[in-house]
Homo-oligomer: A and B are copies of this chain.
């Protein structure tokens, strides 16, 4: 389990920085940077607990973890910026666009059609942004 084998030698913070880069890429680093002037300790906690502790655990691969996160954030419906970051993260760890669309559609069953719709519109924004970057390259 690559995520886990260096646990003994790395600190939680180092492990979190590595996991954040792998999962959220630039979007994650932007969140961390944006905390610098208001709550720098919170940036540390964010790296240490969610990424250094939770996402670095063996027992569930990153693909499954992002399915869970996308579903939860779409269902709660009150964290649009984080949902977009994790749709991006889902693509980073190997989910296909069509799979993300399936997860979001399924949320209509558990959180209602508005939650599913708002999740799908967030996904469209992320996908279009990626396509724009690709065509601009």
Binding site for B on A (CB under 8 A): 31, 34-35, 37-39, 41-42, 45-46, 49-50, 53-55, 57, 59-60, 64-65, 67-79, 81-82, 98-99, 101-118, 120-121, 123-124, 127
One of B45, B64, B65, B116 near A42 (C-beta < 8 A) = B116
A60 touches B99 (CB 8 A): yes
Task: State in angstroms the CA–CA spacing of A106 and B64 once bound together.
Answer: 11
A49 touches B109 (CB 8 A): yes
What residue in chain B is nearest A64 (Cβ atoms)?
B67
Task: State in angstroms the CA–CA spacing of A114 and B28 once bound together.
Answer: 12
Instruction: With both chains docked as a complex, state the minimum distance between the C-beta of A102 and any C-beta of chain B, in angstroms.
Output: 4
